[in-house]
Chain A
């Protein structure tokens, strides 16, 4: 029996790789296609790196959604970092403050089926993403 829920704490750079593994293993066990496994793992990698770069520490919670009509994966990313002042700005393609490619959050949104973000300056950020097994 696969665990229904799992949590990874991000505070070291290597934790990004750890989170990627948990995401991929869970996606594989749920029956996601190879491409969707890569999409989920990549999205988690981006989210974990955001925590590492901006908030220094945070948690990623993985949950299995297993209802009668559909299966999926629910991921919640929480940090108590600086928060995002202008969410509209970070959701624009090409926006980056870290000198990366700026693929960040808009990229994650495209990789996943559902995306939600709540952030308060000085309090932290919570991001919810979902992917459904097709």
Chain B
């Protein structure tokens, strides 16, 4: 099942609720970029509150989608990374530097607002 991407004014909201395998992750990357292109969205929040595991592959896909969206002119903020996920990522050696993050969806939207000056 594809990951739903919702439009809210000029933002896109994504909440990843299911266990993601590699194919779903790559498909999501394509779908999100396509949706940014079609809607002209200026910001994206990807909420990871329900995600219990991020391994190096999923981390790479998420990091890449931030960079790709940035190239297109849309800012992406990752929100709601669980404590266990954050600790595991650092143990793995993945620091996800230069990737905008926020505590939750609300803080993520505030961050987009500030960065985009809207």
What is A's interface to B at a CB cutoff of 8 Å?
A: 13-14, 16-17, 20-21, 24, 34-35, 37-39, 41-42, 45-46, 49, 93, 100-104, 106-107, 110-111
A16-B22, A37-B84, A38-B85 as given contacts; A45 in contact with B91, CB under 8 Å = no
Q: Which B residues touch A46, using CB under 8 A?
A: 55-56, 92
Identify whether the interface residues of A are mostly helix, strand, loop, or mixed.
helix
Taken together as a complex, chains A and B put the C-alpha atoms of A17 and B24 apart, in Å, by 12
Identify whether the interface residues of B are mostly helix, strand, loop, or mixed.
helix
Q: Which residue of A lies closest to B58 (CB)?
A: A45
Q: Is the Cβ of A100 less than 8 Å from the Cβ of B92?
A: no
Q: Which A residues touch B83, using CB under 8 A?
A: 35
Q: Is the Cβ of A101 less than 8 Å from the Cβ of B59?
A: yes
Q: Is the Cβ of A103 less than 8 Å from the Cβ of B92?
A: yes
Interface residues on B, range: 20 to 34
Q: Which residue of B lies closest to A39 (CB)?
A: B88
**Does chain A have a CB within 8 A of B52?**
yes
Q: Which B residues touch A38, using CB under 8 A?
A: 52-53, 82, 84-85, 87-88
Q: How far is the CB of B99 from chain A (nearest CB, A)?
A: 13
Q: Is the Cβ of B55 less than 8 Å from the Cβ of A24?
A: no
A13-B21, A38-B84, A100-B60 as given contacts; A45 in contact with B53, CB under 8 Å = yes
* Residue in B82, B85, B94 whose beta carbon sits within 8 Å of that of A103 in the complex: B94
Q: Which A residues touch B57, using CB under 8 A?
A: 45, 49, 100
Q: Is the Cβ of A101 less than 8 Å from the Cβ of B84?
A: no
Q: Is the Cβ of B84 less than 8 Å from the Cβ of A104?
A: no
Q: Is the Cβ of B22 less than 8 Å from the Cβ of A13?
A: yes
**Does chain A have a CB within 8 A of B54?**
yes
Q: Is the Cβ of A100 less than 8 Å from the Cβ of B52?
A: no
Q: How far is the CB of A53 from chain B (nearest CB, A)?
A: 10
Q: Which A residues touch B87, using CB under 8 A?
A: 35, 38-39
Q: Which B residues touch A13, using CB under 8 A?
A: 21-23
